[in-house]
Amino acid sequence: MSFWIIDLITALLSFVIAGVSGIFLVPFLHRIKFGQPIKTEDGPKWHAKKQGTPTMGGFMFIISTVITSIAGYWIYRWKTGIDTTDKDSFKPFYLLLSVLVFSAAFGLIGFIDDYTKVARKKNDGLTPWQKIALQLVCGAGFLFAVRCFGDKSTKLDLGFWTSPSLGIFYYILMMAVIIYLTNAVNLTDGVDGLCGSVTFVAMLIFTVCCSILKQNEMSCFTMALAGGCLGFLLWNLNPAKCFMGDTGSMFLGAAVTGVGLILHKHLLLLLAALVYIIEALSVMIQVLYFKYTKKKYGEGRRIFKMTPIHHHFEMSGFSEYKIVITFSLCGIIFGVLGIITLIVF
């Protein structure tokens, strides 16, 4: 059986599981009143009508990804006849498992945050420092696991340039990448269908890169998550019947970051995740400029109408569908550039 056929079957099964699970999950979340609290200062005022939309819908693609990525991997091993007596042959599985556990751990952090919000009936869950502390622990565990399972390189691979070995500083830098990028993906979840669509594109890009880099086992995970995101979008496209919540967005953030770090192609990760990076960067620029102008002129000024930047476009008249399509197309363009860097360099 062709490797690509296994990937497509994995994605299709994940799509079905995620999509069908919504039939049961969405009414259940309604029944237990797990609705999303909305703060109008965090988005356009018209988002107030989304108050009470069920959250934690990320469980749809989390469940489908865990089941189908593991199933897809074992089908791949079975059909390719890999020698199961060779201990080294299990390293790809351990790396796949590392990404799954890493993503699930971040999903758990998001779940705690979501549950706290719902319990308090406010849009305030864990404090930023509580989140960062938990993320640091999970990130350190992931980097340790990846090193144990074979990737001991501490060089930055930017395609056109590879750094000298950075030693412990490499892991410090990667921890910063994990914190920034996982929270950047979380920030991207602010418009119906946006985070799921952009991540669907990112996982397709990573699948092609896994093939180029001969890391076929990892594509079982990327295609499983791509299919899961697509199934979730049946419930999340505007008007959303369910939100992924931090449960879902934190899972996706860890998944994107984890796959990029395991492939050990840092320029590729930068390009494949550039939409998320720009989203978080827009918030940083807005805050810094506001503080600077307030100190200099006595009043804070803004560069964007609202951040993250998808809200700027929304305030400028873009429909939610148009934002999703525009950002997804940008993700495709950046991702294709990432693929080209692998081929050229």
Binding residues for Mg(2+): 186, 246
Dihedral (Cα; 119, 135, 232, 66), 10-degree rounding: -110
- The maximal CA–CA distance of the chain, rounded, in angstroms, is 70
Q: Where are the beta strands (DSSP E) in 1-90?
A: none
Q: Which residues are annotated as a binding site?
A: 186, 246
To 10 degrees, what angle do helices 59-80 and 216-236 make? 150
Q: What would the two tokens of residue 100 be?
A: 């799954």
Outline where 88-215 has alpha helix (H).
Answer: 91-120, 128-148, 168-188, 194-212
Strand, helix or coil for residue 17: helix
Helix or strand run (H / E) with residue 70: helix 59-80
Q: What angle do CA 327, 52, 307 make, to 5 degrees?
A: 35
Tell me if 206 sits within 8 A of 259, measured CB to CB: yes
Other C-beta atoms closer than 10 Å to the C-beta of 112 total 18
User: First-to-last CA distance in the chain?
Assistant: 31
